[in-house]
Homo-oligomer: A and B are copies of this chain.
Amino acid sequence: MSTPKLLLVEDDTALAELLEYRFASEGYEVRTSADGDEALVMAAEETPDLVLLDWMIEGTSGIEVCRRLRRDKATAHVPIIMLTAREAEDDRVRGLETGADDYVTKPFSPRELLARVSAVLRRVRPALAGETIETGDIKLDPVAHRVERRGRSLQIGPTEYRLLKFFMEHPRRVFSRSQLLDAVWGTGSEIEERTVDVHIRRLRKAIAFDNARDPIRTVRSAGYALEPV
């Protein structure tokens, strides 16, 4: 899974370190700069997934950084959350008008900022916020109805898709044919149990990949299970 990359622009060293630590421990990759111009260079070097921008930094002002980020095509669509002083409503409004996506007023708790960051990422890049299911090397995006393995997208039929999705929602667990019929075909479907085998085979074929190991395990006289590769 890709770890979201944050760019933190904050000249209060103590606060910066605190945040860096918290975000890192939540699985984010954080790069920090205390200076507006330096931050712009860093953003140009490696486009971050989200920018945390203190409004009151020395040198190039926050609002100017925001504007320049928006102007450059590479960073024009990177979400920006600004960190502002509580009182300055004007700043906040101006920030939103300039193109920031959001703000958090100081003092804030790291926990709150985390929730905010994740909410914004969820909006902008669902895949980063974990709306997709990942099992081993298979990724399934329910919103886009798309399945890929090792980055390559797979061609997969409707029933196989539902079957795979069900398996991925409950990895490692063994399901009997009748359980699968209930879960995937719907309760009370009058379908031959053997038919499940056929769809398992079709699913296997659909997700087969070069010589990668088959992630679907047959449990003799019990059913099938998906084992993350």
Q: Point out residues on A near B: beta carbons under 8 Å.
A: 79, 89, 92-93, 96-97, 100-102, 109, 111-112, 115-116, 118-119, 123-124, 141, 143-146, 157-158, 172-174, 219-222, 225
Tell me which residues across on chain B come within 8 A of A102, comparing CB atoms.
Answer: 102, 119
Nearest residue in B to A117 (C-beta to C-beta)?
A: B96
Tell me which residues across on chain B come within 8 A of A221, comparing CB atoms.
Answer: 158
Q: Chain B CB within 10 Å — which of A89, A145, A174 has the most? A: A145
Of B101, B109, B173, which is within 8 A of A123 by CB?
A: B101
Tell me which residues across on chain B come within 8 A of A93, comparing CB atoms.
Answer: 111-112, 115
Question: For the complex, would chain A's binding face be called helix, strand, loop or mixed by DSSP majority?
Answer: mixed
Are A144 and B225 CB-contacts (below 8 A) given A79-B123, A118-B96, A119-B102?
A: yes
Nearest residue in B to A221 (C-beta to C-beta)?
A: B158
A-B contact pairs, 13 of them (CB 8 A): A89-B109, A96-B115, A96-B118, A101-B119, A102-B102, A102-B119, A123-B123, A123-B124, A144-B172, A144-B174, A145-B219, A145-B222, A145-B225
B220 touches A158 (CB 8 A): yes
- Complex CA gap A17/B180 in Å reads 47
Are A119 and B100 CB-contacts (below 8 A) given A89-B112, A112-B89, A112-B93?
A: yes
CB distance from A71 to the nearest CB of B (A): 14
A115 touches B144 (CB 8 A): no
CB distance from A116 to the nearest CB of B (A): 6
